[in-house]
């Protein structure tokens, strides 16, 4: 199955119809904001409360994109993630999702 068809099927299945196709190489310049929390094994954030930061490497790309869209829209509520997501385009989200979905 072609990669573009698989991405389209996964996008539709996860409710992100019309999602941009991500480019993991392009994401390398966009993930510095993620690494500070999601790139540290066992990291716990303290704002707005103490909680373990989830590992996103290896997560399904469609899930990552949908989560970023939810932070951007306000459907998911976390001040830091919302402010990061607000600065991301749909293409940025797709790129980051594919980058981390590849296990980076």
Global pTM reads 0.76
pLDDT band at 53 (very low <50, low <70, confident <90, very high): very high
Phi-psi region at 90: left, alpha or beta (left = phi > 0; alpha = psi -120 to 50): alpha
7-11, 19-23, 72-76: least confidently modelled range:
7-11
Domain count, the chain: 1
pLDDT digits over 24-41, tens only? Answer: 999 999 999 999 899 888
Q: What is the DSSP letter of 18?
A: T
Averaged pLDDT for residues 97-104: 84
Residue-level pLDDT at 16: 47
Select from 90, 80, 87 the least CA-distant residue to 38.
80
What is the maximum span of the chain, computed from C-alpha positions, in angstroms?
Answer: 44
Rounded Cα distance between 78 and 13, Å, is 25
pLDDT band at 75 (very low <50, low <70, confident <90, very high): very high
Residue-level pLDDT at 82: 96
- CATH at 49: 1.10.760.10
Residue-level pLDDT at 49: 84
Residue-level pLDDT at 7: 46
86 contacts 72 by C-beta, under 8 angstroms: yes
7 contacts 78 by C-beta, under 8 angstroms: no
95 contacts 26 by C-beta, under 8 angstroms: yes
**Domain interval for residue 67:** 3-101
pLDDT above 90: percentage of residues in the chain: 64
């Amino acid at each position: 199955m072609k990669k573009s068809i698989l991405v389209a099927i996964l996008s539709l299945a996860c409710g992100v119809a019309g999602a941009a196709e991500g480019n993991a190489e392009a994401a390398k310049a966009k993930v510095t904001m993620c690494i500070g929390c999601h790139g540290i094994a066992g990291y716990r954030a303290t704002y707005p409360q103490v909680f373990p930061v989830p590992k996103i490497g290896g997560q399904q790309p469609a899930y990552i994109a949908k989560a970023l869209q939810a932070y951007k829209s306000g459907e998911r509520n976390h001040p830091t993630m919302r402010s990061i997501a607000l600065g991301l385009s749909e293409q940025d989200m797709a790129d980051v999702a594919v980058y981390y979905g590849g296990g980076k």
